[in-house]
Amino acid sequence: MVLRGSMAKIATLKDGFGAASAGETHLRPIWLIDDGLRRIYLHGKGMIAVEPVDVGEMERNLEFWQPKPLGGKIVGGLGTIQGVSPFNDYGRRILTVRGPDGGQVRIIQGIEEVNSRYAKLVALKGKPSLNWDMRISTRTLDSSTLARIFKKRTDQSDLNARLEVVRFFIAAERYREAKEALQTTIDDFPEEVDLLPQLAALTKRQAEQLLLEAKDRADAGQYQLARGILQGFPLQEVSRITKIQVEDAFKTLNEPVQKSAELMRKLRLQVSKLQGNQQMRLATILDEMEAGLSADTLSRLSDYERLGDVANLPIDNRIALAVAGWILGSGSGEQNLSIAISLVQVRDLVAEYLASEDAARRQAILEELGNMEGSEAEYVDRILPLLTPVLPWPEGSQHPEIPRMFDVRTDSFRYVIQLPPEYNPLRQYPCVVALHESRSPIENQLDWWSGAYRKQIQTRMGYGSRSGFIVVAPVWSRAGQLAYEYTPQEHQRVLKAMRDAMRRASIDSDRVFIAGHGEGGTAAWDIALGHPDLWAGMISMSGTPGKTVPHYEPNSRYVPLYMVMGELDGAKAGGAILNDYMTFNHDAMVVMYRGRGREYFYDELPRLFEWMSVSSHRRRDMPREIEVATIREGDQFFWWLELGSLKPGVPVDPILWEQAERIRAGKVTAAINVDNQIRVQRGPADRFRLLLRPMPGVLDLNQQIVIREGTRSKRLQFDGSLQVMLEDVRQRADRKRAFWMTEMIP
């Protein structure tokens, strides 16, 4: 990500979020970046890749006179926003907030300045008389509203004023509106012939924007939408270079389709040369491959694409490369056809095992797998991530009107889920687990992240849909619950819903982000730190963490954190908690909106998706060394280590937090050392369970494992059994990190 704004260095957040702080420059590790709309805080040395570059003034503001009061009470805090009227032609609106006594306070606001990034709103004369500067993102102002305001508030006979409006729309990347404003200016000032070439330049920028949108849609797996954008391209209005770019984009979209068809024709021809019984055994998988091959799955056949025409390689070896690649993924290298055919059966039995609720049938499947040559643990571990979802959607869960939206309800959890356009179960999708504000419908989270459903086009058009994210919105609270309570029960409602969704939808378990608004933001913060092994990142908007969160600072080092709040939110997170995250070993960013209170911050959505798309924001590899804290029953599983019952005095009941005599988190320490030696230090529990899987360069399950705990040691060897692996995946639904073996200590 690139952050733009004026920059200052500060020493601490403990005493507030101001730009000034005592101390020398080298004692000021925190960078404050102010872009006019918000202030961003992060650790400079830990988060910044290069030194900042001074690019000068970013842009000019359009200024409007508004009837501001000469004085007035400075707004130090802001109640809940209960209503907002549309802007009128003068750039004014009425904001209704909750007052100190619980009643409604109506405040008239006016746009005093606007640029492509933000609008500055001030409180106008009235009762109460307020001194209040509030900033909102220009993205939240629709073009028709802006055009009305500009027409009313700018001198239509002043060419320079008219061109300022054009420049505004260009800077805001609203090229259609810029063309319309420029065309009307040319019509009103026909003598300004120098303006005509600018229309062609704006058409070019529009074309570049469309090309970028087509690419983004294709990257999100929405290939038909990308084709639709390109097919509707105004080729008659663009340059020859742009036409070539459109042709190249079409070629990029069509190449996987053509390559898939060519590979399948070649593969079927080669299979036709095998013996009849082998052809029969391969018929079903060939049909499956032909139906499933696409840009999302073509990489599975990379070995076959490279070696399928090598004449000195026997045909059955080449066919094996294709079939095994389809089952195991790219780079399988398997050339034994009988093993490749066996892998198909192994995969189907594994999928049945994960879906079965019948313990006797699961045991029978394990026995069947034990007699198959393709059932080694290494093979099954590679099969698991490529499985399609193992459970169907419950009957009646499909929303009656909204495509790809489901409402799943059980006795122990409930969630709604929105799948993106052109959802393909053979593709793995990033996911947001979105936690609702207290007493807010969970469906609101789908609207916020994926966009409100548009009936006329039968889809959602929000950032989540455009970026190809699955959004899961679980119920974390009891009916009527006002505040997050930090209980294990709230955690379980969220985790059970997430795991159920992972069984029914193709979710990439390495790219699951937990996020929330208000009390849901507090819940997301706490759940992320209580289970740091599960998340690619945490996003909290208007969260107010307490209780366990300050004690879980060691856990926060493993999870990227993104905190959004308003500077006038009296309940916002304290600087002391946030200051703990401003170190080189945290990936943490605090965003403070100027003049804003406790709200949803729709303005931040584009940046949130940019942040989630950063390549480093994936669930981190399992660490060699674990140093975390726990203070609550339920927070006992950390990567490859699970604690037994916590010792008396360690856990604190969150409901009785204020009555606890002693609050001190238990420290959990364990490490995998050289030569397959694992050391666990006794801490908050007397018993531990190790859950182990191969970790390249760290742990080799083909070698003897030595476990050391205190003065005792134990030696283990992996026995090749699949039961631990399959049962682990069946319970945790994480198909990318299946544990192969487990051991209790002592």
Q: Is the four-CA dihedral 648, 731, 379, 364 of positive or negative sign?
A: positive
Q: Band of the pLDDT at 20, cuts 50, 70, 90?
A: very low
Rg (CA), the chain: 29
Q: Hey, what are 116's tokens?
A: 């492509």
Sign of CA dihedral 629, 631, 635, 636: positive
- Tell me what pLDDT residue 22 has: 43
Secondary structure tally for the chain: helices H, strands E: 21, 30
Distance in angstroms (rounded) separating the CA atoms of residues 718 and 739 = 11
Question: Facing residues of 32 across strands?
Answer: 8, 41
Count CB-CB contacts under 10 A for residue 702.
9
Q: What is the mean pLDDT of residues 664-688?
A: 93
Q: Which amino acid is at 221?
A: G
**264-290: per-residue pLDDT in tens?**
999 999 999 998 899 999 999 999 999
User: Which H/E stretch holds residue 340?
Assistant: helix 337-355
Residue with tokens 């038909």: 224
For residues 458 and 601, is the Cβ–Cβ distance under 8 A?
A: no
Query: Which residue in this structure is represented by tokens 């339920």?
Result: 634
> What is the rounded CA–CA span in Å between residue 103 and residue 285?
67
pLDDT for 102-140, tens place per residue? Answer: 888 899 999 999 999 999 999 999 887 899 999 999 999
The answer to whether 408 and 417 have CB atoms below 8 angstroms apart is: yes
| Tokens (6 digits) for 80 | 């809940």
For residue 704, how far is the Cα from the chain centroid? 39
Instruction: For residue 343, give the H/E element and its range.
Output: helix 337-355
| Cα–Cα distance for residue pair 515/445, rounded to 1 Å | 10
Asked whether 738 and 729 are in contact (CB, 8 A), the reply is yes
What local confidence, expressed as pLDDT, does residue 51 receive? 84
Tell me the residue length of the chain. Answer: 746
85 pLDDT higher than 90: yes
Largest CA distance in the chain: 93
Angstrom CA distances, 233 to 196, 211, 243, 393, 405, stand at 22, 9, 9, 38, 31
Q: How confident is the model at residue 563 (pLDDT cuts 50, 70, 90)?
A: very high
For residue 189, report the phi and psi dihedrals to the nearest 5 degrees: -130, 70
376, amino acid identity: E
Q: What is the pLDDT of residues 623-651, one digit of tens each?
A: 999 999 999 999 999 999 999 999 999 99
Q: What's the mean per-residue pLDDT of the chain?
A: 93
Contact indicator for 539, 562 with CB cutoff of 8 Å: yes
pLDDT in tens, 533-550: 999 999 999 999 999 999
Tokens linked to 38: 């918000």
Which of these, 536, 469, 526, lies nearest to 501 by C-alpha position? 469
Q: Pick the residue with more confidence: 77 or 475?
A: 475
Check residue 17 and give its pLDDT: 61
The pLDDT score that the predictor gives to residue 59 is 73
Reported as a pLDDT band with limits 50, 70 and 90, residue 603 is: very high
From 77, 64, 69, select the one nearest 131 (Cα to Cα). 69
Q: Which domains does the chain have, with CATH numbers?
A: 62-212 (no CATH), 213-254 (no CATH), 262-386 (no CATH), 405-612 (3.40.50.1820), 625-745 (no CATH)
Residue 18's pLDDT band (cuts 50, 70, 90): low
pLDDT tens across 512-525, in order?
999 999 999 999 99
H-helix or E-strand spanning residue 474: strand 470-474
Q: Kindly tell me if the per-residue pLDDT of 498 is higher than 80.
A: yes
Cα separation, 173 vs 161, in Å, equals: 19
Predicted confidence (pLDDT) per residue in 187-216, tens digit: 999 998 899 989 989 988 999 999 999 999
CA angle 20, 23, 29 (to 5 degrees): 80
Is the Cβ–Cβ distance between 263 and 293 less than 8 Å? yes
Averaged pLDDT, 51-78 = 85
User: pLDDT band at 24, cuts 50/70/90?
Assistant: very low
Band (pLDDT 50/70/90 cuts) for residue 79 is confident
pLDDT of res. 16: 60
* 139 residue type, one letter: R
Residue of 514, 538, 544 lying closest to 438 (CA atoms): 544
